[in-house]
Amino acid sequence: MNPMPELASERLYEGERFSVERVRYASRGRQLSRDVIRHPGAVTIVPMVDNDHVCLIQNHRIAVGQTLIELPAGTLERGKDPRVTAERELAEETGYRASRWDLLHEFFLSPGVLDERMRLFLATGLTEGPTNRESGEQIENRVVAWDEAIDMVRRREIRDAKTIIGLLWADQCRA
């Protein structure tokens, strides 16, 4: 399938973590436009404390006004290696450092409006250390048995998309 030719784009908003562009493109002889959120990408990490336990976090999310159960994650800095970002985010949010990193998958979270590409890493060989959470972050570690984490997805207690994808994909890789 051939991509639709982009005719022009106009920056509508420039924020700290993302921007919004109005993209004009041609499709079937018509000129159309769509507003697109531009994002540098992100990482999410499945931190295996041991073979049978994973470290999740409870993270208060202002956008939805709720505390969610999630995998640790973070936004890429432009030009930075995703693994370096994953290492930094794991240490900052959970205090853990990993001796082994495996890239499990890459996916788009909401490609209808957002170009963010998420990289999913498995982190093993963890050692504990201090956290370095950002000012204003309300995060708590929650180490749970692997089977319990999967059951939390099934019971719909975990509602964060990257966490659902990450846990279920990692579970398939473990099988």
pLDDT of 132 over the 70 cut: yes
Rounded-to-integer distance, Cα 33 and Cα 24, Å: 4
List, for residues 54-111, the tens digit of each pLDDT value: 999 999 999 999 999 999 999 998 889 999 999 999 999 999 999 999 999 999 999 9
- Domain 42-174 matching CATH 3.90.79.10: the answer reads yes
* Catalytic pick among 10, 106, 128, 137: 137
- Give the whole-number percent of the chain exceeding pLDDT 70: 97
pLDDT at residue number 41:
96
Question: Facing residues of 6 across strands?
Answer: 25
Residues of the chain with CATH 3.90.79.10: 42-174
Rounded-to-integer distance, Cα 110 and Cα 64, Å: 16
**Active-site annotation holds for 14:** no
**Is 58 in contact with 72 (CB distance < 8 Å)?**
no
